[in-house]
Structure 1
Amino acid sequence: MARLSVVAALAFTGAASALQIPLQIPINTPWTETPAVHQDDGDELPLIDSKTLQDRIASSSLEARAKVLYDLAKRSEDEYNHPTRVIGSKGHEATLTYIQSTLAQLGSYYNVSSQSFPAVTGNVFESRLVVGAEVPSSAAPMGLTPPTRNNEPVHGQVILAENEGCEPSDVPEQASGNIVLIKRGTCPFGTKSENAGKAGALAAIVYNTDPEPVQGTLGTPSPDHVATFGIGGTEGSKYVEKIRKGEKLDAIAYIDAEVRTIVTTNIIAQTLGGDAENCVMAGGHSDSVAEGPGINDDGTGSLSLLEVAVQLSRFRVNNCVRLAWWAAEEEGLLGSDYYVSQLSGEDNQRIRLFMDYDMMASPNYAYQIYNATNEENPTGSAELKELYIDWYEDQGLNYTFIPFDGRSDYDGFIRNGIPGGGIATGAEGVKTKDEEAMFGGKAGDWYDPNYHQIGDDLRNLALDAWEVNTKLIAHSIATFAKSFKGFPERNADAEISSYGRDVKYHGSKLVV
């Protein structure tokens, strides 16, 4: 059945996608003033000073960069029918060129390198799930799911898996030619889908143990994966009860999707000056989801780093500063994971700490600090958290804590013994009454109502929060670029922290 006839027959809806073509052209950089360009005059520059660097940060410059970024996202409209900077798109290729050209205008202050790597990406064009006589309102395709057979609807009986479907024996023989219903928990979603596929199932449905829908991903593709949906616990429990009472449930599943591997690029900039054996590192991601232009997520974090990089070039540093713009964060932290995996033991030890800056200007913001401890995270993470606390308190600003839960690019660093931390302003989490009193905004709404949506555009920015947090980013970099006095030394023999044992995310989607 052709896609058009499927749409006509089942009234399915979905997102458009198209061929992804790289673009390499120079991009003009919006300067509020002529940037400093340095060749061999590093010794003549003034030593880095946090207050002076912070004073050079202005929301007008950040907003100007955001306007450029949105124009770049619009270059993908012929592919996706809307602006986006998803990896492989013209919008993302232009974003990389913009970052590189901006850094190039700073002369020899930074050594700028590109790190290409293979990234798995997936698109779901259309999907539909019908169970019995109803369409589950919470149904959503898993990230990196394969399509249903021949990209057409499949029909079968709903068969309940035993336990959590984590062992091949949990999927009964009756699953062959049918659709398996599996409880969330214990093992990754990819394992559940794989076991269903090995049993001959046509599709799989993972239901949550909580009422909320499951926004998950299958992770690394497997030839045994089958088309997989996630649904909420309320609907899932209802279907389980019917099956256990002996009621026969039929289902129709349809996913028109593709999963493929492309090559994309991290950008790394390191100061030529400063002690190369002691580097302060910070990063943000250069890509967006396919659904929108990603001006807050993570245009704000990546542009904050770019603006700090420009202003930092006016100063001499004692310790090297290494800045990174990761690709494929939205596909599951692929760029940062690849970078850390390529570090030698010696290179790992040269990074004294890593700071993650993702979503700095959510419109219903809270000032959030990752709640790091030296007991659960590499030693030094708690000291970094205290730096953020001290700065907010010095400004008379409120703050709150959020957990390290694997949702951003700090994950690979912490797992590999590098102290980490960061700040954020919130994604799809719901603002509390207490937070409304602390930060303003509206309790009961998401911190970013346009998170991972088409509306994450120029209208989706809290410029006041963006300027505040960019000044804090500047302070964090300047502090350690000047001195690591009082900050714990790296210890190559230190035990790996307990971080990661209960982490259920790897990027924005659940993996377990």
Structure 2
Amino acid sequence: MHLSLLLLALSSHAVGSAIQIPLVLQSDTTAPVTSIGKELVSSEALQGDIDLKNLEDRANHLFELAKLSVDDYGHPTRVIGSKGHLATIDYIYSTIASLGEYYTISNQSFEAVVGDVFESRLVIGDQVPKSASPMSLTPPTSDKQPVYGPLVLVENDGCDQADYPSHIAGAIAFIRRGTCTFGDKSALAGKAGAVAAVIYNNAKGSLSGTLGEPAEYHVATFGLSSEDSEPYIVDLQRGKVVNASAYIDSIVEKINTTNIIAQSKEGDAENCVMLGGHSDSVVEGPGINDDGSGSLTLLEVATQLTKYRVNNCVRFAWWAGEEEGLLGSDYYVAMLSAEENWKIRLFMDYDMLASPNYANQVYNATNEVNPTGSEELRDLYVEFYESHGQNYTFIPFDGRSDYDAFIKHGIPGGGIAAGAEGVKTKEEAEMFGGAVGKWFDPCYHQLCDTVDNLNFTAWELNTKLVAHSVATYAISFQGFPERSSVESKVLDQTASMWHGPKLVM
């Protein structure tokens, strides 16, 4: 597809108007042979091709693309639907296309839900709770005006319509977190006649999440910390009337966006090593670490790989809509036939590789609760860090990034990261350096996630690890477990609190 036509398709916001391009991932037998005179890829050679200057140049270019959104958003961003994201997709597509006949490039358009909160305010009694935060994808209050009513304590966890008393009609529902999703709670509150909802945390700390896919009865919904909620719970349990007001000016809409897939034309198409990162940022900032670092690493590794032959096909993916709830990767995996699913031997997720206060984080993907092969991939990362004299730490494999759909459909998965909003401990500072008590990325999901936010030492090392993972499996899957199913025991596990970067329950 010509790039100008691609951008035309992407710029359409009309529901149902997306141009759907079939994912043709078989090698093109009419294409020129690309391996003549090329050596088989090796980890050492591909790692040696990683040039930090190339990564820095790509990061600077990506930030310039994010600036294209300033007129519409008031600041640089690459959120889906923005000019910055359209330009990011164009950049990825055109870069891969410029590499000649090495890859088959496919795009996959799909419908995505996006939202933005312009203003919000929650007042309870005569106080404005500092921790009050509007949920992502919350609808606005009625007519985008403040609504008023008594705060009504909902029974249990608010996951059953019977938990909502009849006098909640015209009131603001006060709901404990737990058991079911935030979206379910908001919809049940709305169906009971509440004019707004406040979901308070059942553990220490603030509560910020997403309502997920819009539903008919969703109402304007805030999250509130356990600390801020406790006094009101006591008052309500004693029968005291607590009046409140809520105001949210927001928009939730559906647009069209796209994934970009590039697969080597050579290599065994029945045994593909797949890796991905997301091309979008949050609306609040340009996302040069999250996930510019991952998506640009893939672009650089894909570029350098063209120098070599491969025995197994290599498939790169740039997902759209990760920040809105893993939309692109979910859609991609859902659209795979059982036959195409079976061809993917493993999926590697690379999201945030250059965090300034970094740690070498490896997803703790074990075979016990994940598709067999996930643990072998985990061990490959561990062995790399150990062989380079680097410390590492395991982090939960809990659905926070684009591996989620793959492991839920029987595909072994794993990945590495450099850290997001987690706080670095004293032990981690001793292992990796950096500041104790600070986020791994103090600019996570913020305007300051620019090129200046990147730790280039971490990024270079992690890009070489990505190159190592690609080369290892592009050469051979010897010793790597065979696929056993297109379904996964992960489906039988308790639902995760995360689906993407935001809490969902």
- Residue 96 of structure 1 is matched in structure 2 by 89
1:479 CA drift (Å): 0.2
1:377-392 equivalent positions in 2, closer than 5 A: 377-392=370-385
Which residue in 2 is equivalent to 1:328? 321
**Aligned pair partner of 2:281 in 288, 292, 295:** 288
**8 Å CA contact 1:376, 1:498 repeated in 2:** no
Query: How do 1:469-508 and structure 2 match up within 5 A?
Result: 469-492=462-485, 496-497=489-490, 500-508=493-501
Q: Distance in 1 between matches of 2:224 and 2:117?
A: 16
Say which SS state the counterpart of residue 123 (structure 1) adopts. Answer: strand
Q: Does 1:359 align with 2:348?
A: no
Match of 1:373 in 2: 366
Report the TM-score, using the length of structure 2 for normalisation.
Answer: 0.93
Q: Take 2:34 and 2:53, find their aligned partners in 1: how far apart are those partners?
A: 29
Distance 1:131 1:494 in 2: 47
Shift of 1:496: 2.4
Measure how far apart 1:493 and its partner are. Answer: 7.0
1:454 Cα shift?
0.2
Deviations 1:338-391 (A, max 9, x none): 000000001111000000000000000000000011011000000000100111
- 1:120–1:260 Cα contact (<8 Å) kept: yes
2:251: which partner in 1? Answer: 258
SS in 1 for 2:262: strand
Aligned to 1:59: 52
Partner in structure 2 of residue 179 of structure 1: 172
What is the distance in 1 between the residues matched to 2:445 and 2:223? 18
Instruction: Give the equivalent residue in structure 2 for 1:189.
Output: 182
Q: 2:71 aligns with which of 67, 74, 78?
A: 78
Compute the displacement of 1:499 (Å): 6.9
Is the contact between residue 39 and residue 107 of structure 1 (CA under 8 Å) also seen in structure 2?
A: no
Q: Distance in 2 between matches of 1:445 and 1:412?
A: 31
* Corresponding position: 1:136 with 2:129: yes
- Name structure 1 gaps, 5 residues minimum: 1-20, 24-37
- Deviation string, structure 1 residues 183-232 (Cα, Å, up to 9, x no partner): 00000001100010001100000000112111111111101000000000
Cα shift at 1:22: 3.2
What is the rounded CA distance, in whole Å, between the counterparts of 2:108 and 2:145 in structure 1? 38
Measure the CA separation in 1 of the matches of 2:223 and 2:262.
40
User: Is 1:205 aligned with 2:205?
Assistant: no
Cα distance, 1:143–1:309 mapped onto 2, change above 3 Å: same
Deviations 1:474-512 (A, max 9, x none): 000100000000000011377523675241100111111
Contact 2:347-2:411 at 8 Å conserved across structures: yes
Aligned CA RMSD, in angstroms, stands at: 1.4
Determine the structure 2 residue equivalent to 1:22: 11
Structure 2 gap segments, 5+ residues each: 1-9, 13-30
Matching of residue 421 in structure 1 with residue 410 in structure 2: no
Mapped contact 1:353–1:418 kept (Cα < 8 A): yes
Separation in structure 1 between the aligned mates of residue 56 and residue 464 of structure 2, nearest angstrom: 14
Distance in 2, Cα, partners of 1:131 & 1:172? 20
What is the SS of the residue equivalent to 1:296?
Answer: coil
**Contact 2:410–2:486 (CA under 8 A) maintained in structure 1:** no
Tell me, in whole angstroms, the C-alpha distance in 1 between the residues paired with 2:11 and 2:448. Answer: 24
Aligned with 1:44: secondary structure? Answer: coil
Cα distance in 1, alignment partners of residues 314 and 504 from structure 2? 33
SS at match of 1:88: coil
1:247 Cα deviation from its structure 2 partner: 1.2
Q: Secondary structure at the match of 2:62?
A: helix
Structure 1 position 314 matched with structure 2 position 303: no
CA distance in 2, matches of 1:375, 1:417: 13
CA, structure 1 residues 64+510, in 2 after alignment: closer, same or farther (shift >3 Å)? same
Number of residue equivalences = 479
**Structure 1 segments (4+ residues) deviating >3 Å:** 497-500
Q: Secondary structure at the match of 1:352?
A: strand
Distance 1:495 1:101, change over 3 A: closer
Residue of structure 2 equivalent to 1:457: 450
- Post-superposition CA distance 1:271-327 (Å, at most 9, x none): 000000000000000000000000000000000000000000000000000000000
